[in-house]
Amino acid sequence: MNITKADNLACPIDGNRLEQTENQYVCENGHTFDIARQGYVNLLPVQHKRSKQPGDSKAMVLARTRFLDTGIYQAIAIKLAETVSSIIIDDDDGCFLDAGCGEGYYFDFLFNSLKDREDAGKLSFIGLDISKDAVLQASKRNRQISWVVGTNRQLPVEDESVDIIQCLFGFLSVEGFNKALKPGGTIILVDPGPDHLKELREIIYPEVSKTKQSALAQMELADFSPEGTERLQFKTTVTNSEQINHLLMMTPHFYRASKEGREAVGKLDELDITVDVIFRVFKKI
Ligand SMILES: C[S@@+](CC[C@H](N)C(=O)[O-])C[C@H]1O[C@@H](n2cnc3c(N)ncnc32)[C@H](O)[C@@H]1O
């Protein structure tokens, strides 16, 4: 594969194509966006923010990095890479976008699994998240990916310029994804299945409900055809209290749990967990 830098980033203010200079992106109306020392660009203007520091906090980002770097979730990354590999057609050029990439673990893994393919196509990678702390952390993983602070609601890319959007445990914006995706393009949604981390939830909550599945209904209402669903399930053990704490912090349960629930998790030295993840592939009609 030939890896190229993304050339389809668009101005978040007027939608015009952005040209890259040495240390900035510029649109034809003169809006400029500095490239940070770490290599990422912030394309989230204040008017697109709903809070001062949107998205995951620095503490959540670091907890996620520490947990994911243990490799406990590597099977999810492998499954994602297999899914993408089966979609790419040899020698095609393509732009991948990870919408809500977090601290970049999955996108970096995907990049590394594709980069040595022998096909002649040109690939570009855009990792985007609304959290500046997440994007900053992601940019330390891989300098060849274009890391962007932005929102899934209004993806700062040219209309119909992306081939594959992946969204893992993230914020689905059917409208935003539809606008960015080429006709015939693919969306891969990866969401928790009904039993995901049920052991952790049993400790935190007095009553455990099955994780709700809402993304599917939203996608079917829009112009997407479902191309397949696969479920990845496995059991594993988190073997120390630090990792258990990192796992809790990287999930929404950290904020939803009561003080007692968090304390109960804090006392554990070992936790058996069920990982239950659903992969759904949709094609834009
Ligand atoms: C549960 S984390 C998942 C991160 C990553 N996909 C992973 O699986 O490791 C959800 C991510 O979505 C980001 N996020 C939340 N709202 C967003 C939005 N409107 N646009 C883009 N990212 C968003 C958060 O900052 C966070 O990094």
Domain boundaries, the chain: 2-284
Sheet containing strand 19-20, strands side by side: 19-20, 24-26, 32-34
Query: 95 CA distance to ligand 1 centroid (A)?
Result: 20
With H, G, I as helix, E, B as strand and everything else as coil, classify residue 207.
coil
Answer whether 135's CB lies under 8 Å from 55's CB: no
- Over range 243-255, report the average pLDDT: 93
Atom number, ligand 1, closest to the C-alpha of residue 54: 25
The CA distance from 70 to 234, in Å, is: 16
Any atom of ligand 1 within 6 Å of the Cβ of 191:
no
Minimum CA distance residue for ligand 1 atom 1: 169
Q: Which helix (H) or strand (E) holds 272?
A: strand 271-284
Q: Is 90 exposed, middle or buried (0-12, 13-18, 19+ CB in 10 A)?
A: exposed
* Confidence band, pLDDT 50/70/90 cuts, at residue 210: low
pLDDT 10s digits, 164-200: 999 999 999 999 999 999 999 999 999 999 999 999 9
CA triple 7-9-10, angle to 5 deg: 135
Query: Is the CB of 151 inside a 6 Å radius of any atom of ligand 1?
Result: yes
Helix (H, G, I), strand (E, B) or coil at 106: helix
One-letter amino acid for residue 279 of the chain: F
Report the separation in Å between the CA atom of 67 and the middle of ligand 1, taken as the mean of its atom positions: 16
Burial class, 35, CB count within 10 angstroms (exposed 0-12 / middle 13-18 / buried 19+)? middle
Q: How far apart are CA 64 and CA 240, in angstroms?
A: 15
Highest mean pLDDT: which of 45-54, 90-99, 224-233?
224-233
- Ligand 1 centroid distance, CA of 91 (Å): 31
Q: pLDDT at position 84, please?
A: 93
Give me the pLDDT at residue 116, please.
81
134 touches ligand 1 (CB under 6 Å):
yes
Say yes or no: CB of residue 261 within 6 Å of ligand 1: no
Q: Does 171 contact ligand 1 (Cβ within 6 A)? A: yes
Q: Strand 24-26 and strand 19-20: pairing?
A: antiparallel
| CA–CA separation, 154 and 157 (whole Å) | 9
Q: Which of 99, 174, 164 is nearest to 135 (CA)?
A: 99
CATH code for the domain defined by 2-284: 3.40.50.150
Encode pLDDT of 39-65 as tens digits.
Answer: 999 999 878 777 888 899 999 999 999
Instruction: Please tell me which residue, 213 or 149, carries the higher pLDDT value.
Output: 149
Decide: 193 and 239 in contact? Cβ < 8 Å. no
Place of tokens 């995901």: 196
Q: Does the beta carbon of 126 sit less than 6 angstroms from any atom of ligand 1?
A: no
> Nearest to residue 135, comparing CAs of 102, 163, 170?
102
| Mean of pLDDT over the chain | 92
56 lines ligand 1 (CB under 6 A): yes
Residue with CA nearest ligand 1 atom 5:
102
Determine the distance separating the centroid of ligand 1 and the alpha carbon of 4, expressed in angstroms.
Answer: 24
Residues 6+ away with beta carbon under 8 Å from 211: 191, 192, 193, 194, 195, 196
Distance separating alpha carbons of residues 151 and 156, to the nearest angstrom: 8
User: For a pocket test of ligand 1, which of 44, 129, 166 has the largest count of ligand atoms closer than 8 A to its C-beta?
Assistant: 129
Counting from 1 in the atom list of ligand 1, the atom nearest the Cα of 152 is 20
